Amino acid sequence: MNKLFKMMLISASAAAVAACAGENEQFKYTIDQFADLKVMRYKIPGWESLSLKQKTYVYYLAEAAKYGRDITWDQYCKWNLPVRHAIEAVLNGYEGDRNCENFGLFVEYAKRVYFSNGVHHHYAEDKFVPACPKEYFASLLEAVGKSDDALLDFIYDKDAMTQRRSTSKTGDIVALSAVNFYDGVSRAEVDAFYNKMMDPKDPCPISYGLNSKVVKDAKGRVTEQLWKLDGIYGPAIAKICENLEKAAAFAENDIQARAIAILIDYYKTGDLRKWDEFNVEWVKDTLGKVDFINGFIEDYDDPLGRKATFEGMVHIKDSAASARTEKLSANAQWFEDNAPMDPRFKKTSVRGISAKVVNAVTLAGATYPATPIGINLPNADWIRKNHGSKSVTIANITHTYDYSAQEQPKSVLSEFAWDEAEIAAQKKYGDYADEVHTDLHECLGHASGQLLPGVSSTALGEYQSALEEARADLFGLYYIADPKMVELGIMPDMEAYKPHFAGYIRNGLMTQFTRVELGKQNTEAHMQNRKLIAEWCYEKGAAANVIEKRVREGKTYFVVNDFEALRGLFAELLAEIQRIKSEGDYAAGKALIETYAVDIDPVLHAEVLERYKALNLKPYGGFVNPDIEPVFAADGSISDIKVSYPDDYLAQQLAYDARYSTL
Ligand code: ZN
């Protein structure tokens, strides 16, 4: 539920920046690049506004999260920790030549292993091997007294545990997966084991098998071994509990303290009822400024979708962004009343949705170094239905992607924007305007409008998602250029929306197709929505030259000539799509999508892919954490918690090895 990963491939467009870019001039965001990866560091806006008590709460929660690190490594593959320990020994102790090419290749392998929490690519899940010769790697291990032939054979054999999670169509995906969730059991045995346990009539089922490894006992019977204090991963779980206990003393409210107590109880017993109980409490806490994730959360790494990987995160509410969305929500009725839509399709009473925006303070386990940009938890359906869920976007991570993109010598923006003025305007306002657009889309766009009586919410069938996204996007595009936004103090002036319009068109007509293979159609709902809007406006505004296609040195550009006219076109299309939704006009919805959203011009597509490839950007990003350390007073109490922003990726990994190794 929370795997909203942002790849750099995808960040070509969307996204967001809070303040003007100028204030970040001194801070370097991109700190390392290797293979297909880059590592960034992120700031924590709002940290100084926390009280000492809140900071102390954050500190212990962060420690609890980081002590789970070895669990994730071991879960991904049982060889991962031995491989890491060998690498660590060489990086810390090797006294030979560190400037030769082979040592450079060894370091690159080490960085990749640390990035993936193991020997498989974090995203593709395929095993990768070192580029330096095996004999050389052996000589490094020997030099630090860590010779291990079996380990070396495993590291260099690409076919040994070749996929973290097997995608085999014919083989036994349990036996073929490298993940350490099963040992000596077949898929059929695991299925039978859990089918016997589950009660299909239980309205509040526990997440069977979430926190255990399935093995065969001495008598050959299938059984599970729990990840708990006196079970597997006990030493790591003991440190997690110890720090959670310390954190609870600094909780912001009783709900948080109670939730943590239940979580500790769960770690001690392994009782999945307690895990559910914890989640019910955790969902209730919406008032605290500090929040966290800690546990076996997501089941994507298990080929059977049952076992969950350890992950941790600590985050704090983003006050500025939250204030903005609260302002929009408070004025929701004004926006509804003034929307360019037939009054019959408007809500007479509308309530905006307050999207929660947070800033990450610590990433851990499966969310470190590569992390999602949004979270939607808990995962148990019955808890979501009966008690609700928390959905947040992580602003400082998104911002860091944007800042980092600007640091690259060549960017998608510099390649596809028409001229320096367009680039400068985008750098000044564009990312901030993107963020405001997202607020409008989420807080007001989806919540606006109503169906005519008798019209089904599923009337638009397979075109529903793309049309609904287009409706919310158009609502945002129309209003971001409204004087009301300046009056509310959300947009700085009546110029700031313009680069957002230019960027939206550029993305909808060109840059988003960097993510589609040549010859394929545009199928993803959000991408269809953007193409529909941009393509429709390009066509309808052609006579008045609202959007102009220009070619320079064989390269295509789309330039907005008339921003007000473009806003008028957005209004027109919004009115039409609202009509389609309110009336359930399937045929008209289908025609819009099929005419404007699906087919990509193959010549333009090939050009876009070629220009993107030449930029040579790293497709995947990850992060180092800020260092959070207490300052102790003479009497041993904590007098302050200091944050610093390290810029050495490998050094942080080695520091974590030294400090958080438990298994
Ligand atoms: Zn949406």
pLDDT in tens, 420-449: 999 999 989 988 898 899 889 988 998 899
Cβ-contact 563, 433 below 8 angstroms? no
Q: How many helices (H) and strands (E) does the chain have?
A: 26, 15
Task: Give the angle 149-154-160 at the CA atoms, nearest 5°.
Answer: 150
Least confident piece of the model among 101-110, 304-313, 400-409, 601-610 = 400-409
pLDDT of 7 above 70: no
Separation of CA 469 and ligand 1 centre (Å) = 5
Cα 435 to averaged position of ligand 1 atoms, centre (Å): 13
Which residue in the block uniquely carries the two structure tokens 């010779």? Answer: 147
Q: Cβ-count burial of 603 within 10 angstroms (0-12 exposed, 13-18 middle, 19+ buried)?
A: exposed
Q: Cα of 574 to ligand 1 centre, how many Å? A: 14
Q: How far is the centre of ligand 1, averaged over its atoms, from the C-alpha of 457 (Å)?
A: 16
Kindly give the distance from the C-alpha atom of residue 524 to the centroid of ligand 1, in angstroms, as a whole number: 13
Residue 491 covered by a domain: yes
Instruction: Give the Å distance between the CA of 3 and the centre of ligand 1.
Output: 16
Q: What is the pLDDT of residues 57-88, one digit of tens each?
A: 999 999 999 999 999 999 999 999 999 999 99
State the pLDDT at residue 381.
86
Ligand 1 geometric centre to CA of 465 (Å): 9
pLDDT at 10: 34
* CATH number reported for the structural domain that contains residue 557 in this entry: 3.30.540.30
Answer whether residue 200 is part of any domain: no
Domain that holds residue 393: 3-14+29-68+231-615
Q: How many domains does the chain have?
A: 1
| CA 441 – ligand 1 centroid, Å | 6
pLDDT over threshold 90, residue 563: yes
Residue 624 pairs in a beta bridge with 41
Is 122 within the bounds of a domain?
A: no
Residue 15 has pLDDT above 60, yes or no: no
* Range in 105-109, 574-578, 618-622, 636-640 the model is least confident about: 618-622
Output the pLDDT for position 430.
84
Q: How far is the CA of 362 from the centre of ligand 1 (A)?
A: 27
Q: Give φ, ψ of 182 to 5 degrees.
A: -140, 150
Q: From ligand 1's centre to the CA of 443, what distance in Å?
A: 10
Q: Give the distance (Å) from ligand 1 centre to CA of residue 429.
A: 22
The predicted-structure confidence for 536-546, as pLDDT tens digits, reads as follows: 999 999 999 99
**Phi and psi (nearest 5°) for 32?**
-160, 150
Query: Per-residue pLDDT tens for 128-139?
Result: 999 999 999 999
How far is the centre of ligand 1, averaged over its atoms, from the C-alpha of 601 (Å)?
Answer: 26
pLDDT band at 322 (very low <50, low <70, confident <90, very high): confident
For the residues 495-517, what does the mean pLDDT come to?
95
pTM for the whole structure = 0.84
Cα(472) to ligand 1 centroid in Å equals 6
Question: Looking at the predicted structure, is the pLDDT value of residue 326 above 90?
Answer: no
- 140 CA → ligand 1 middle, Å: 52
Q: Is residue 94 part of a domain?
A: no
pLDDT tens digit string along 590-609?
999 999 999 999 999 999 99
CB neighbour class for 517 (10 Å; exposed up to 12, middle 13-18, buried from 19): exposed
Is the residue at 123 inside a domain?
A: no
Distance 63 CA to ligand 1 centre (A): 35
Distance 193 CA to ligand 1 centre (A): 40
Centre of ligand 1 from the C-alpha of residue 82, in Å? 44
Residue type, 663: L
Residue 590 counted as domain residue = yes
> Which of these, 472, 495, 477, lies nearest to 581 by C-alpha position?
472
**What distances in angstroms separate CA 258 from CA 262, 294, 376, one per listed residue?**
6, 15, 21
Q: Is there a domain that residue 650 lies in? A: no
Q: Across residues 634-657, what is the average pLDDT?
A: 97
Q: How far is the CA of 448 from the centre of ligand 1 (A)?
A: 12
Q: Between 391 and 23, where is the model more confident?
A: 391
For residue 438, the CA-to-ligand 1 centroid distance in Å is: 8
Q: Which residues contact 376 (CB under 8 A, 6 or more apart)?
A: 1, 2, 4, 389, 390, 391, 392
Residue 125 CA to residue 117 CA, distance in Å, equals 11
Q: What is the pLDDT of residue 576?
A: 98
Q: Give the Å distance between the CA of 476 and the centre of ligand 1.
A: 11
What band does 14 get if pLDDT is binned at 50, 70 and 90? very low
* CA 467 to ligand 1 center in whole angstroms: 10
**DSSP structural state of residue 5:** B
Counting beta carbons within 10 angstroms of the beta carbon of residue 511, is it exposed (0 to 12), middle (13 to 18) or buried (19 or more)? buried
Answer whether residue 647 is part of any domain: no
Distance 470 CA to ligand 1 centre (A): 8
**Band of pLDDT at residue 3, cut at 50, 70 and 90:** very low
> Mean per-residue pLDDT for 117-143?
97
SS3 at position 135: helix
For residue range 270-292, what is the model confidence (pLDDT) as tens digits?
999 999 999 999 999 988 999 99
